[in-house]
Amino acid sequence: MSEPSPDPCPLIGIVKNPNGSITRDSTRFPRVPATPVPSPQNPFVVTKDITVRHSNSTVDFTLYDDFCNLMARELNVVVASPSYRLAPEHRLRRLTPTDSTLEVY
């Protein structure tokens, strides 16, 4: 019989929670506190607590994408879609081909 495959979660930086959801491993991804206004020491950098887009499938529905793009462009703001189903924190996340390793065991 073949050996069981190792758990891929530590390799890709995620943690399985007791409720079945998964989150990013906070020890591997440093957190930077949000700064609402530029500081005198660094007037050009303002950090916000936002989800980084890590693929081309960032929205569930094209209509929302078009609307969010229009708002961001016209209002000169950053728009975050809370129903982003590729985020590791999403309880019912949509699987991509790279996520197939999580479904193998």
Domain presence at residue 6: no
Spatial CB neighbours of 99, under 8 Å, sequence gap ≥ 6: 93
Domain presence at residue 39: yes
Q: What is the pLDDT of residue 104?
A: 43
Average pLDDT over the chain, rounded to whole? 62
Instruction: Provide the domain limits for residue 53.
Output: 30-82
The structure's pTM equals: 0.27
At CB < 8 A and 24+ separation, what contacts does 49-57 make?
A: 50/78, 50/80, 51/80, 51/84, 51/87, 54/86, 55/86, 55/96, 57/86, 57/94, 57/96
Region 47-70: what's the mean pLDDT?
Answer: 54
Q: What is the pLDDT of residue 91?
A: 56
Domain presence at residue 72: yes
Number of domains making up the chain: 1
- Contact assessment for residue 46 and residue 36, using Cβ atoms and an 8 Å cutoff: yes
Instruction: Please write the tens of the pLDDT for every residue from 6-22.
Output: 777 777 777 888 887 77
pLDDT at 70 over 70: yes
Region 22-29: what's the mean pLDDT?
Answer: 73
